[in-house]
Amino acid sequence: MLKKGISLLLTFSLVTGILSACASNETNQNGVAQGDSKPEAFIKIATGNTGGTYYPVGVAMGQLLSDKLDYVTSSAMSTGGSVDNIGLLRSNEAQVGILTAAVTNDAFFGEGEFKENKYENVRAITSMWPSLQHIVVQKDIKSFEDLKGKKFVVGAARSGTELDAHAILASMGLFYRDEYGTKKNMEPVYVNYEEAAEAMKNKQVAGGLFNSAPPGSAIADLMATGDFHILSFTEEEMVKLSKEYPLFTAYTIEPGIYPNLNEEVVAPGYPAVLVTSSDMDKEVIYDLTKTIFENVATLENAHKAAQHIRAETATKGIQIEFHEGTKQYLEEKGLWKK
């Protein structure tokens, strides 16, 4: 009797163990393991201000990750922009961020704003879409020369937009930082895109720089009034800018992308980059990478710019190191060149 009882107990334990193992190895509809095998992960996504491209895509991404990965809880946060996002990653207040390639490079290599405070732990996940620097101005402003002596929105303080504004305007002979002393020839206004649009509508400023993948909502709102236009860079101006800042290349904004845009506009740009920290778990970033690339259509519903997110172009325009989890995914797809 005793032997039979022990035998039944062992059989029950074995079956229970097998069932538990099977439960822990189940996969969800995205093909990602779920259950007790992975600890709960919280992923905060640092984006930008609500009038740009980063925020709506970040919100959609957070929802996507929460829906597809049972062990992940994710959401987006509105921030001051790319420079801010590096600080949030560094302090672990955010685990993923959307940044301009310029700020990403500066942080990783210790240049520009990060000359004395480099962040070598930043790692790329994927190139996202081309971020174009739209110079949106009042209709009576016909050239960069016309901006001398005017008030101009250069972006929120500590944002990637402000760094771009400084680079572009200085290349065009326009100086607004105190460091230029007597060379200062325009007045900067440090606000986000929505506030910039309001200031422009109220004729408080001559224009502003908006870093966005077309169509940017704040830009479209301004263009719809018929009172503004986007300055187009000449070939000579693009050569001059690219010579000083090689990261910038020329992109064409086609007619019809914005209201009242009836002809092509040339604007400088470079890719936006989805980044994380080297401290993030390899399996988590692998799952995140897989989920994003296999559900791009969901992100496209949030903003058309997401159509540029592709595994095949994940490394395009990126000069920093990639996270090991992303490398693993790209290697499996035959897209990583060692």
Contact between residue 129 and residue 49 where contact means Cβ atoms under 8 Å apart: no
Question: CA 165, CA 153: separation in Å to the nearest integer?
Answer: 9
Contact between residue 291 and residue 145 where contact means Cβ atoms under 8 Å apart: no
Average pLDDT, the chain: 89
Q: How many CA atoms, within 13 angstroms, populate the side-chain half-sphere of residue 142? A: 1
Task: For residue 221, give the nearest of 192, 251, 200 by alpha carbon.
Answer: 200
Question: CA 130, CA 316: separation in Å to the nearest integer?
Answer: 10
Q: Tell the burial category of 201 from Cβ atoms under 10 Å away from its Cβ (0-12, 13-18, 19+).
A: middle
| CA distances to 17, 235, 299 from 131, in Å | 52, 19, 17
Question: CA 286, CA 297: separation in Å to the nearest integer?
Answer: 19
Percent of the chain at pLDDT exceeding 90? 75
Question: CA 102, CA 245: separation in Å to the nearest integer?
Answer: 10
The answer to whether residue 34 scores a pLDDT higher than 90 is no
The answer to whether residue 94 scores a pLDDT higher than 60 is yes
Question: CA 172, CA 143: separation in Å to the nearest integer?
Answer: 10
Give the SS3 label for residue 27: strand
Contact between residue 135 and residue 207 where contact means Cβ atoms under 8 Å apart: yes
For residue 56, say if its preceding peptide bond is cis, omega within 30 degrees of 0.
Answer: no
Write out pLDDT tens, residues 224-248: 999 999 999 999 999 999 999 888 8
Contact between residue 134 and residue 230 where contact means Cβ atoms under 8 Å apart: yes
Domain 41-130+271-332 fold: D-Maltodextrin-Binding Protein; domain 2 (3.40.190)
Domain boundaries for CATH 3.40.190.10 within the chain: 41-130+271-332, 132-270
Spatial neighbors of 33 by CB under 8 A, at least 6 apart, are: 25, 26, 27
pLDDT band at 338 (very low <50, low <70, confident <90, very high): low
Task: For residue 89, give the nearest of 61, 116, 118, 69 by alpha carbon.
Answer: 118
Mean local confidence (pLDDT), 69-78: 97
CATH class of the domain comprising 132-270? alpha beta
Question: Which uninterrupted H or E stretch holds 269?
Answer: strand 265-277
Poorest-pLDDT segment among 91-95, 213-217, 220-224, 234-238: 213-217
Write out pLDDT tens, residues 151-168: 999 999 878 899 899 999
Question: CA 187, CA 4: separation in Å to the nearest integer?
Answer: 90
Single pTM value for the model = 0.70
Distance of alpha carbon 262 from the chain centroid: 28
Contact between residue 48 and residue 81 where contact means Cβ atoms under 8 Å apart: yes
Task: Determine how many CB atoms are found less than 10 A away from the CB of residue 81.
Answer: 30
Side chain identity at 228, as an amino acid letter?
F
Side chain identity at 229, as an amino acid letter?
H
Instruction: Read off the tokens for 113.
Output: 């704003």
Question: CA 295, CA 211: separation in Å to the nearest integer?
Answer: 25
Question: Which uninterrupted H or E stretch holds 28?
Answer: none
Task: For residue 49, give the nearest of 153, 205, 187 by alpha carbon.
Answer: 153
Contact between residue 292 and residue 140 where contact means Cβ atoms under 8 Å apart: no
Question: CA 8, CA 120: separation in Å to the nearest integer?
Answer: 58
Write out pLDDT tens, residues 282-320: 999 999 999 999 999 999 999 988 999 999 999 988 989
